[in-house]
């Protein structure tokens, strides 16, 4: 059976930076450690005046096509995952294809294009669609381009304002992939939830605390569904577990929940029992409330054990390094978590070929997907070509007043002229609107 998976990945961060500890916290009158330690975020990326979801997506895709030496004929499908779309009819993928056609010979007229929506999980759903398309034999030897691109902005003053971000991830899905092979081991947790939504409005309506509970509930449901296909999972089965990362503090909670679930009825639970007792079992408690309290106490003990801390440091912590610097990229978030992990392994000189990843994706509204991937032989060569650290370091560092202008500039209800903070070079830029209110783009050489 031919392996199908992610052959290459490229990342494009918004070119502006808001430092949460230095710039945001003082204006909010908050302790900087609420951001750096509590949420686990140091900075957020923002789009410059000439950037939006199309330019960021097209710039990531161009880096990927150049690096892989691709032409439009090599691509049979372009799916864009976003929850920041500006058009209810014309998909962002048509704009991105139009941008790319400005710089490559040939065109994408025979590529199937679409836009996927299910909050942050849409990027992973687009990978699934591409996998299915190739496995069904409908790709005619061509690859799929999946672009996850978002400007994750919240209303000014919303508690979510601390977790904003902007950037794009482009992924090439192919036969015989270099990076990871996707598998059919996959589970879902999905329910009609009202935790985070944008009913025809740009900025989300969010019930922040509830959204965190829903994330964990759906993720647990997805893990159980995954295990019904793949069998019981054990913490040692996976080199890394990249989760959707709205902010690293959320992943801290997901990692602990996953670990507790995976060690239940294993020798790890037995060994830890000497120190913290066995996990509470619901049948031993009179009511749900008493059981939940016992679970909370047990989790507090579990997270302090040396065994858990070591596992977390090896399997989860490396997935968070990019997110800490860029914030939430919604659809791209879980894919930068995977990239962070692989990048950290390459930097540490680890041999990851044939090792497995468990990927936990999530979208509000709400759905989680857990699936397994296997790292491929060419992973290191691929991942070493990312220049994401350089991009992160060269962002323009905004003052608070500049941040306020940038937020207004990207607010669809406002018309704010703003000078660019950075000089565009070898990238697509937004240039204005055409006669039918369509957005226009140019390539700056
Ligand atoms: N030092 C260290 N830690 C501190 C601290 C300090 N001085 N002050 C606070 N903290 C800790 C808090 O204890 C808390 O950690 P725990 O949850 O582990 O206790 C953490 O910092 C955050 O503090 P608060 O809970 O007080 O923060 P908040 O109420 O201002 O907002 C939030 C937090 C609700 C997540 C808010 O940022 C929000 O609404 N975010 C948007 C929604 C979101 O991201 N939800 C995540 C799940 S939904 C999803 O994943 C989809 C998506 O992408 C949006």
Given a cut of 90, whether residue 1 has pLDDT beyond it is no
Q: Give the CA distances from residue 394 to residues 17, 39, 167, 342, 377, in Å, rounded to whole numbers and listed in that order.
A: 9, 24, 14, 22, 31
68 neighbors 408 (Cβ within 8 angstroms): no
Pocket test for ligand 1, best of 26, 38, 151 (most atoms within 8 A of CB): 38
Instruction: State how far the Cα of 128 lies from the Cα of 5, in Å rounded to an integer.
Output: 9
Q: Give the CA distances from residue 286 to residues 29, 278, 281, 297, 422, in Å, rounded to whole numbers and listed in that order.
A: 44, 18, 11, 17, 62
Instruction: State how far the Cα of 220 lies from the Cα of 211, in Å rounded to an integer.
Output: 14
Is residue 99 flagged as an active site residue? no
Is residue 120 flagged as an active site residue? yes
For the chain, the first-to-last Cα distance in angstroms comes to 43
Q: Which residues pair with 166 in a beta bridge?
A: 151
Pocket test for ligand 1, best of 159, 215, 220, 326 (most atoms within 8 A of CB): 159
What pLDDT is recorded for position 73? 98
Given a cut of 90, whether residue 417 has pLDDT beyond it is no
Helix 267-276, helix 288-303: angle, nearest 10: 90
Is residue 369 flagged as an active site residue? no
> Tens digit of pLDDT for each residue in 23-47?
999 999 999 999 999 999 999 999 9
Residues lining ligand 1, judged by CB closer than 6 Å? 31, 33-34, 37-39, 120, 159-160, 162-163, 196, 206, 208-209, 211-212, 215, 244, 246-247, 249-250, 328, 330, 362, 364
Instruction: Tell me the residue ranges of DSSP E strands in 176-277.
Output: 180-190, 196-197, 205-206
> Tens digit of pLDDT for each residue in 386-403?
999 999 999 999 999 999
| Selected catalytic residue, list 42, 120, 371, 373 | 120
Altogether, the residues listed in the chain come to a count of 445
CATH superfamily of 4-444: Thiolase/Chalcone synthase (3.40.47.10)
Averaged pLDDT, 425-430? 98
351 neighbors 274 (Cβ within 8 angstroms): no
Could you tell me how many helices (H) and strands (E) the chain has, helices first? 15, 15
| Selected catalytic residue, list 10, 42, 50, 83 | 83
Domain spans in the chain, listed from the N-terminal domain onward: 4-444
pTM for the model stands at 0.98
Instruction: State how far the Cα of 236 lies from the Cα of 152, in Å rounded to an integer.
Output: 34
What tokens were used for 162? 């601390």
């Amino acid at each position: 059976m031919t392996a199908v998976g992610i052959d290459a990945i490229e990342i494009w961060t918004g070119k502006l930076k808001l430092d949460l500890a230095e710039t945001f916290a003082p204006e909010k009158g908050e302790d900087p450690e609420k951001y750096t330690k509590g949420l686990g975020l140091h900075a957020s990326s923002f789009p410059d005046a000439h950037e939006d979801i199309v330019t960021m997506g097209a710039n990531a895709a161009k880096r990927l096509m150049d690096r892989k030496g691709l032409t439009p004929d090599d691509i049979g499908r372009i799916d864009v995952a976003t929850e920041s779309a500006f058009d209810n009819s014309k998909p962002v993928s048509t704009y991105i294809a139009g941008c790319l056609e400005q710089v490559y010979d040939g065109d994408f007229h025979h590529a199937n294009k679409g836009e996927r929506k299910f909050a942050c999980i849409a990027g992973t759903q687009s990978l699934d669609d591409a996998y299915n398309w190739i496995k069904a034999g409908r790709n005619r030897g061509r690859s799929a381009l999946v672009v996850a691109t978002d400007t994750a902005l919240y209303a000014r003053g919303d508690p979510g304002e601390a977790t904003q971000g902007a950037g794009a991830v482009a992924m090439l899905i192919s036969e015989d992939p270099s990076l990871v092979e996707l598998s059919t081991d996959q589970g879902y947790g999905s329910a009609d939830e009202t935790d985070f939504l944008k009913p025809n409005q740009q900025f989300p309506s969010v019930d922040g605390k509830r959204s965190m509970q829903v994330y964990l509930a759906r993720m647990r449901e997805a893990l159980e569904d995954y295990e019904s296909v793949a069998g019981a999972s054990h913490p040692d089965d996976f080199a890394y577990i990249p989760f959707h990362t709205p902010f690293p503090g959320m992943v801290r909670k997901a990692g602990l929940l996953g670990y507790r679930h995976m060690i239940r009825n294993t020798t790890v639970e037995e060994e830890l029992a000497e120190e913290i007792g066995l996990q509470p079992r619901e049948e031993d408690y009179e009511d749900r409330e008493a059981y939940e309290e016992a679970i909370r106490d047990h989790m507090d003990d579990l997270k302090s054990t040396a065994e858990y801390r070591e596992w977390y440091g090896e399997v989860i912590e490396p997935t968070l390094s990019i997110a800490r610097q860029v914030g939430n990229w919604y659809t791209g978030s879980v894919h930068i978590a995977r990239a962070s992990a692989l990048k950290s392994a390459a930097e540490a000189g680890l041999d990851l070929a044939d090792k497995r990843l468990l990927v936990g994706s999530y979208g509000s509204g709400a759905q989680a997907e857990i699936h397994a991937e296997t790292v491929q032989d060419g992973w290191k060569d691929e991942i070493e070509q990312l220049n994401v650290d350089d991009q992160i370091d060269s962002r323009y560092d905004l003052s608070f007043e500049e941040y306020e202008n940038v937020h207004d500039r990207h607010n669809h209800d406002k018309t704010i002229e703003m000078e660019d903070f950075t000089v565009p070079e070898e990238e697509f830029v937004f240039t204005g609107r055409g006669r039918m209110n369509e957005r226009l783009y140019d390539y700056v050489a």
